[in-house]
Structure 1
């Protein structure tokens, strides 16, 4: 019985240590989440301005009945599709990675198993890169060790490569697959088309561009530089969004682990008290039995 009590006590101490670790990790993830949400809000201000400028410059092309002529806007026959898949570099984030990887595998199975249309994957995050490589899937580029609050410089290279692949017609469509942050408890899988640009609508354009503005050097040259930058900003925004969802998932996972540890400690404490009570009862019984034997 003493050995049993000792084992239960050791389990309680071990679980308490685990609970302290997961609680500390939850606080760290919570701090990261706050910073990521602030970064996401700051990005939205920039993104809305870039979108407005781009829409204003493209108003005449967006309203044209003949369709877009700019290669960043015009659709072409799809031979190869590119997928930017955003996962984390490490675990301890609950079902964050499983959800997005399952969605990507379903898309590939649905659209690419017949061999009529090829695909390539650009993996951001070690979990996704290892997952696809272990299955022999085509991973063109990968990026690991992304910062908790990534700057554009951190991801600019792989984003530029993605845009360059589209402009060089190595891919004919580009999608970003990631977990969209809804709140600290919820995220949604998103598969968002980035190229060709299809989310711009003429109704959002202002009338100021038709009020006599002169563009230098000219509209076409400006759009040649602006449209790739706009596409890059959309991809960067998805990465920031995914990182926010990752921190929220990590915080939730660590909170769940802490709660589970607390429940285990409570159950072990009850077991310990019952075992201790049984041991005391046994000792009293033996004392009483010995005393009766002397009479």
Structure 2
């Protein structure tokens, strides 16, 4: 169906969006995973970072890590200043959500939005979470909240924050890219399954209509033959 067409359409929209601010497509680099998007980027005349067509058919963790590390190095060196991913998120067999997600720089606000509905027992403190609690808590809970000391976010990190983040952030980015790839592959299989099921149902419906039409024609031919026999007997 429109699985690949939707990705290509969003890619075209993003390219047009950046072209207006950058004054062209010279500073846009695309990492196309899959044959369809690779062919489209070539037709659009965009700068392609490499050939990754085989990665869509056979997901490979090592290759995903290599791609992520290459992008990380370019981002740290200042060669690129923003990276976005376009893929389908697998929600269910009948629903695949087209997703545009920022890969770099890491957007913490998106992660905080997921914790907006946490209660006071949560170890995550955020402005959005506190506002949500104030709006939805009852009067008794609000009174109790006033008497409760705010959560302590002054954590001790060993060995130190920079060392921990330098290990966790690359792993997080590697996992994000590999997860997006698996998400896209699962969505593609689901889209293929739905398309084939629809084609099978349409073929069955056509066969049913043709079978009915055949039976009607056959019955009409038998009726005509009987009328000819009866008419000949009456004439005799």
User: Common fold, TM-score beyond 0.5?
Assistant: yes
Q: Which runs of 4+ in 1 moved over 6 A?
A: 205-209
- 1:109 is displaced (CA, Å) by 1.8
Matched, 1:235 2:177: yes
Task: Name the counterpart of 1:279.
Answer: 221
Matched, 1:173 2:173: no
Count of residue pairs brought into register by the alignment: 198
In structure 1, runs of 5+ residues without a counterpart are: 1-93
**Cα shift at 1:168:** 3.0
Which of 155, 159, 164 is 1:210 aligned to?
Answer: 155
CA separation in 2, counterparts of 1:129 and 1:190? 18
Which residue in 2 is equivalent to 1:95?
Answer: 2
In the alignment, which residue of structure 2 is the partner of 1:268?
A: 210
Q: Determine if contact 1:173/1:195 at 8 Å carries over to the other structure.
A: yes
Give distance in 1, aligned partners of 2:17 and 2:69. Answer: 28
Cα distance change, pair 290–247 in 1 and its aligned pair in 2 (3 A):
same
In the alignment, does 2:89 pair up with 1:144?
A: no
Distance 1:173 1:241 in 2: 22
Does residue 102 of structure 2 align to residue 193 of structure 1?
yes
Judge conservation of contact 1:120–1:138 (CA < 8 Å) in 2: yes
Compared with structure 1, are the counterparts of its residues 276 and 196 closer, same or farther at alpha carbon in structure 2 (3 Å cutoff)?
same
Contact 2:83–2:104 (Cα < 8 Å) also in 1: yes
Once the 2 structures are TM-superposed, how far is the Cα of residue 255 of structure 1 from its aligned partner? 1.3
When residues 209 and 238 of structure 1 are mapped into structure 2, their CA distance, relative to the original with a 3 A threshold, is farther
- SS of equivalent to 2:89: strand
Runs of at least 5 residues in structure 2 that lack an aligned partner in the other structure: 116-122, 126-150
* Cα shift at 1:221: 4.0
Output the aligned Cα RMSD: 2.9
Q: Partners of 1:156 and 1:288 in 2: how far apart?
A: 84
Aligned counterpart in structure 2 of residue 120 of structure 1, from 5, 9, 29: 29
TM-score of the superposition, structure 2-length normalised? 0.71
